[in-house]
Amino acid sequence: MVYSASITSRPTEFEQVYLSRHLVFLGLGLTAAAVASAVPVRVWPRLAPWLFLATIVLLVLVLVPGLGTKVKGAQRWIRFGPISGQPSELAKIALPLFLAAVIARRRERLGSWVHGLLQPSIPILIVVPLVLFEPDLGTSLFLATLGGVALFCGGWPVRNFILGGALCVPPVVYLVLRKPYQMQRISGFVDTWVDWTNAPYQLKQSLVTLGSSGVWGTGLGRGIQKLSFLPEANTDFIFAVIGEELGLVGMLTILAVWAALYLVGLQLLNRLERGSFEYIAAFTLLTQLFLQMGINVAVVTAMVPPKGIPHPLLSSGGSNLVVSILTLGLIVGLTRRPAADPESVLREQGCV
């Protein structure tokens, strides 16, 4: 799909470049996932603070002129020689792991006002503003949501969510009203369903792409809209290309695979103790992937205002692909059962 969606109205060698880069990042992601899945569970609570600290350092460096790379008005990429990446993508792993370690270590204090409210909130209050400064409102809100999922899974009291939500709503509204392009996204989203003539070009082309698909689609590689009509065809809007080329059947198949992945992940979580580090971390990471997919599909189908959230495991883009595959490796490692003690096995079987 990356190769097909990368073809433009004037085919060049860039399609091969996109495919080659995607395969390289796929290999890197699989290697990182294999290593992460083999790391013993007991190691991750000790690694989580260091990974979180490294992510914070990268988020600060990306804001430094000369180190961070600005694309389309946003300084979200950091480049070291030929290698570039988005530190905010790494935060999607580092924040859940660190929060899980904090919550598991202080579980008995979560009900208190001081220790239970402030200490688990500090990692979120550090990461989210740094991503906002890039600026990237969508990813910052997504990271805040991930923090909320981890806290909910760890048993954070409902009163804290109510208080935290009440404190967060005014700044979010202010940030949306302060940036004209944010308001344009919201008004354009409304116009998509109210006044089609004033709908944003991106959403128009996305819906046209989906509307021309039919049940079976035009066939793999035979889509028309990707030929310079649909912007971001191989990244944020690759699901629209799938809809055009593979039709309704292709889209439903992708959604079915995601549903199966999430359900299998939840079954793996049944092995773990509720409230443990590994349970909180694995549940948040699994939900993170599923939420990203849901938001991406909702944007492509104009169900929510447009935001640059890639489709995990499908969109072209090295940082997101590597992090998504690494997330799967972490989930496998965190949910792996420890090797059983031979004596305990014999005892369970009534032999001892």
pLDDT digit string, tens, across residues 167-212: 788 887 777 677 777 777 788 888 888 888 888 888 899 999 998 8
Q: Within 10 A of 168 (CB to CB), how many other CB atoms are there?
A: 15
The predicted structure's pLDDT at residue 154: 87
What pLDDT sits at residue 118?
Answer: 74
Q: What pTM, to 2 d.p., does this model score?
A: 0.89
The runs of H, that is alpha helices, within the chain are 2-5, 14-38, 44-61, 87-105, 114-117, 122-132, 137-153, 158-178, 180-194, 201-211, 238-269, 277-300, 318-334, 342-348
Confidence at residue 100, expressed as pLDDT on a 0 to 100 scale: 94
The answer to whether the beta carbons of residues 76 and 319 sit under 8 Å apart is: no
CA nearest to 175, candidates 144, 208, 219, 198: 144
Residues in the chain where the model's pLDDT stays below 50 = 340-342, 344-346, 348
pLDDT given at position 188:
82
Non-local CB neighbours of 177 within 8 Å, separated by 6+ positions: 183
Specify the pLDDT at position 346. Answer: 47
Domain ranges of the chain: 1-38+180-338, 40-178
The number of residues making up the chain comes to: 352
CB 203 within 8 A of CB 301: no
- The continuous run of DSSP H or E covering 70 comes out as strand 68-71
Q: How far apart are the first and last CA of the chain?
A: 57
What's the pLDDT at 58? 92
Q: What is the dihedral of CA 32, 38, 43, 47, to 10 degrees?
A: 0
